[in-house]
Structure 1
Amino acid sequence: MNSVDLNTKNALLLKEYLERLGNGEALESVQKDFRETFGNADAEDIVKAEQILINTGTSTAQVEKLCDLHSSLFHDQPAPSKAKAVGGPLKMKTIHSDGCGSHGHNYEEMPSALLAEIVGHPLNILTLENKELEGRLDKLQAVLDAQAPDSEIEASLSDLMSLAAHYAKKDELILPALKYYGVPGPAVVMWNVDDQLRDANKKLLAQVKQFGDDPAKMITIRADIQTMIDRMREMIFKEEKILFPMAEKYFTQEDWVRAYYDMPRFGFSWLEEVPIWKEAGPKPVVQPAVASNQVFGEETLIQLGGGNLTLAQLNAMLNTLPMELTFIDDQNISRFFSEKSDLFPRPTSSLGHEVFDCHPPKVLPMVKRVIQQLQSGEKDVISIMANKKGRKALVRYMAVRDADDEYLGVLEVVEDVTDLLKAPTSSQADM
């Protein structure tokens, strides 16, 4: 059977399992049959079958259920040989068994990405953050089990808020790049789940603060915290045993170097000292968009409608503006973003790719609608207020057109207006 027929057959089997779940059959029962059917399959074969379902309209929620079934294959796995990691994409085949049980992962016996062992490598940094997360989840679990005071629960949940930086790096640097390589399945599922876990942590922290003195409400809140702990542990498992090995297979050395230098844009979770990747080499430059025989230096004079600026002056001026800029061209390709982007950091790997590949599934309909309204001329500017990192941001999407009113693309302008909104009216000067 050729690979196309195999993927189609696998997709039909996965659809059957989804229907069984939809009809109310217990997850454990479906997992048992799933493991018997796919126990010796390569992870990539399952992902390709899942992709067929995605392409034929299977909802994200259903694919998330498949992801839970998929991860059940990786429990109680034999350890892989410790081959030496070399530069470039690794070709590592994951060996599966039909081990039973869907909880209590034995990480020491699980196949992991070999690049995660290289000090300072992006996968090493993400794995170190997962170890920090595991310790904090253990502490929170102990607090719950001991029926400790709610103040201790609040402190643990507050500490977990730093997890957002870990998920941001994964969501922006790993998931979109896999989509570029034709493996969008992890992005479809994980991005949404990461958002759910971030939101759950924030919501539960607020509830503990509000209802800490209400024993009846705290029973439900504690149960929800337990669910969150379990889901966060499962995400660690899916990252280290499914996502990271898959990225290791597809990413080139250049991909990893770009990810390494982009990581500080998104921050780090709990790492007091971020290890240095000595083999990374120099920071890569953005690929020039001009022909090789055209020379543009820092002192190159650029003719603009309102005057002349050198390339150095223009670049410095854009970086000085108290706002974050992103430009998407008329083909929906990401072309530019401000280097200093604190509220909405962008990875350099997004440049040259469709903007739709750089957003989580839940916001894609909004992104497409905004671009359609601006491109069609229905609107010239669309403005929204957003909460980001504890700050208030005014986000404006503007249609960019030339002198002949031809559409050139969309300019996103993000302005931190937190302090402006707090300022008293009397502080506004008359102009």
Structure 2
Amino acid sequence: MTTKEELLQSYHENLQPSDATRRAAAMSAPDLENLPEGHPIRGLRAENEAMNTLIERLLEENEFHEPPASFLPAILRLNGVRTHYAKKEEILMPMLYRYGVTGPSDVMWREDDEIKKELGVLTQTFKEEPDNILLYRGRIRGLLQHMQAMTKKEDLILFPLCLRYFNDDEWYAVYEDAITIGTAFLTGEPEVWEPAEAWKAGQAERLRISEIEEGKVRFEGGALTVRELRAILKLVGVDITFIDTDDMLRFFENEGKVFARPKSALGNAVYDCHPPQVVPAVRQLIADFRAKKRDHMTVWRMIAGKPVSVRYHAVYDRDGKYLGTVEFVQDCTDILAHFKK
């Protein structure tokens, strides 16, 4: 049987050598059981433990002749896994990509998407037809087993890989972003990681000192201070993300909070921030923007039961030179509700 160490070593052997790769390959197997209180991996493993407790109960109740009244609400609670997967996909996986470690993340991202899709279909079905839940025993069992298997893969491959590669500052950034995204399946406040809190305080102070708070940004229609501009952007209620001419994520304002936008993603290639199956479409869209075959695209989607518009616009300077791509994401629930009055 292939051991955890053999699996990890096979991944390292397929990577281009670098200082980080050599350091990771030379490390002994990471100890997942004795991480400091508040470490992000402790939080992710605690989420998995709580989720597996729920899954074991649901697997048992799914075989009852008549599931209890609590069965359906418990099934719907599984949607909390979306928050757990967001931390994997928006924080851990892009950071692994920086080290050239793509294989495990690509496979997991596809499986995560399969789980989320099936969970979404069943959730919608049970909301519309709660009395027919018994007809879906097989699909429920398959979903639960798939989710359970994914927690084992995280423990076996993803978490050890991250511990081999990430340095302290990167873990502190993961800690900060994970708090922003939130927790799944757990009650109470997340554990505090004191070294990371000290790092966050230092980062905030450096940012405060370096900001030109009263410096003005001049436009054709006037000028705004940095402080004024920041305050205005926070009132828009739309997620704004800017990708520069080199296809790197350089800025986001996440007040709409439709999609997770961790700070650790800043400076990443936009292609590392998307599931592998979506990357070809992203590349084509940006190529079209560069070639001026089109200058915008709008996608309408239902996300977590909410109507959302996602608008992509090419950004050009006065001379028509391509500067990058901006994405606007907006939850349209209140807009639709207003027009239905």
Partner of 1:323: 238
Once the two structures are TM-superposed, the CA of residue 380 in structure 1 deviates from its matched residue by 1.3
| Matching of residue 119 in structure 1 with residue 54 in structure 2 | no
2:296 corresponds to: 381
| Residue identity matched to 1:297 | I
Alignment of 1:242-261 (within 5 A): 242-261=157-176
- In the other structure, the counterpart of 1:192 is 110
Q: Distance in 1 between matches of 2:279 and 2:67?
A: 42
Unmatched tracts of structure 1, length 5 or more = 1-34, 53-87, 95-110
Largest Rg, 1 or 2: 1
Q: Label 1:314 to 1:39 Cα distance change in 2 as closer, same or farther (>3 A).
A: closer
Counterpart among 195, 204, 215 of residue 279 in structure 1: 195
Unpaired stretches in structure 2, ≥5 consecutive residues? 17-22
Q: Of the candidates 296, 304, 310, which is equivalent to residue 395 of structure 1?
A: 310
Q: Provide the residue aligned with 2:259 in structure 1.
A: 344
The within-5 A match list for 1:295-374 is 296-374=211-289
Counterpart amino acid of residue 245 in structure 2: D
Match of 2:184 in 1: 269
Structure 1 residues 213 and 323: CA distance shift in structure 2, 3 A: closer
Superposed CA offset, 1:113-166 (max 9, x none): 256x32211111101101110110111012023333374432221111111111
1:195–1:236: structure 2 CA closer, same or farther, 3 Å change rule? Answer: same
Deviations 1:29-79 (A, max 9, x none): xxxxxx3xx559633332246779xxxxxxxxxxxxxxxxxxxxxxxxxxx
* CA deviation after TM superposition for structure 1 residue 233, in Å: 1.4
CA RMSD of aligned residues (A): 2.9
Residue 352 of structure 1: CA displacement? 1.1
Q: Distance in 2 between matches of 1:320 and 1:175?
A: 31
Report the 3-state secondary structure (helix = DSSP H, G, I; strand = E; otherwise coil) of the residue aligned with 1:312.
helix
How does 1:90-169 map onto structure 2 within 5 Å? Answer: 92-94=27-29, 112-114=31-33, 117-149=35-67, 151-169=69-87
Could you give the per-residue CA deviations for residues 349-400 of structure 1, whole angstroms, max 9, x where no partner exists? 1111210011111211221122122121111111111222332111110110
Residues 324 and 340, structure 1, Cα contact 8 Å, conserved in 2: yes
Match of 1:44 in 2: 8
Partner secondary structure for residue 191 of structure 2: coil
Which amino acid in the other structure matches residue 63 of structure 2? D
CA distances 1:305-346 after superposition (whole Å, capped 9, x unpaired): 321111111122222212111000111011000043410121
Distance in 2, Cα, partners of 1:212 & 1:51: 49
Q: What CA distance in whole angstroms lies between the structure 2 residues aligned with 1:413 and 1:310?
A: 23
TM-score with structure 2 length normalisation?
Answer: 0.87
Identity %, equivalent residues: 31
Name the structure 1 match of 2:20.
none
- 1-structure distance, mates of 2:63, 2:7: 36
Partner SS, residue 146 of structure 1: coil
Aligned to 2:96: 178
The answer to whether the 8 Å contact 2:15/2:100 transfers is no
What is the aligned length? Answer: 331
Report deviation, 1:92: 4.0
Contact 1:393 1:416 in 2 (8 A): yes
**1:202 counterpart (120, 126, 129):** 120
Distance 1:90 1:305, change over 3 A: farther
Structure 1 CA distance, aligned partners of 2:4 and 2:121? 40
C-alpha contact (below 8 Å) 1:325/1:337 kept by paired residues: yes
SS in 2 for 1:272: coil
**Corresponding residue for 1:224?**
139
Q: Secondary structure at the match of 1:145?
A: coil
